[in-house]
Amino acid sequence: MRTTGVIPSRPKRHLWFGSGIGRLNYRHKQRLFIYGGLLIPLLYFVVIRILPILYSFNVSFREWGMLSPDKPFVGFDNYATLLSDSLFLKSLHLKSLEVQAADPGE
């Protein structure tokens, strides 16, 4: 006489961190390793390179006083003031001459 039994089903695989991480197949582990390795340089790039550029762009559109808590938005007034300043235009001209002298082939 044969006896029949119930075969338990395999537990479901989870793709998030937790109890199912050891049961991921090789492909999922490989992808997790690659994305984890790319996350650190990407975060470094965003924090060290992108955020300061965005912050300085924001500062350039405001009337920025170091001791003043109010920093009102002035738009392009800072750029208009800069382009109307004769000292800035003279220094811009001298810098362009310096660049041309440093690379005469271009």
Question: In this predicted model, what pLDDT tens digit does every residue of 34-86 receive, in sequence order?
Answer: 999 999 999 999 999 999 999 999 999 999 888 888 989 999 999 999 999 99
Q: How many domains does the chain have?
A: 1
14 occurs within a structural domain: no
Domain region containing 93 = 24-101
Rounded to whole angstroms, how far apart are CA atoms 103 and 106?
A: 6
- Residue 74: closest CA among 87, 83, 66, 63: 63
Flag whether 16 is in a domain: no
Angstrom distance (rounded) from CA 76 to CA 87: 19
pLDDT at 59: 92
Confidence (pLDDT) at 73 = 92
Q: What is the pTM of this model?
A: 0.57
Whether residue 10 is contained in a domain is answered as no
On whether residue 106 sits in a domain, the answer given is no
Tens of pLDDT, residue by residue over 2-16, are: 777 777 777 665 555
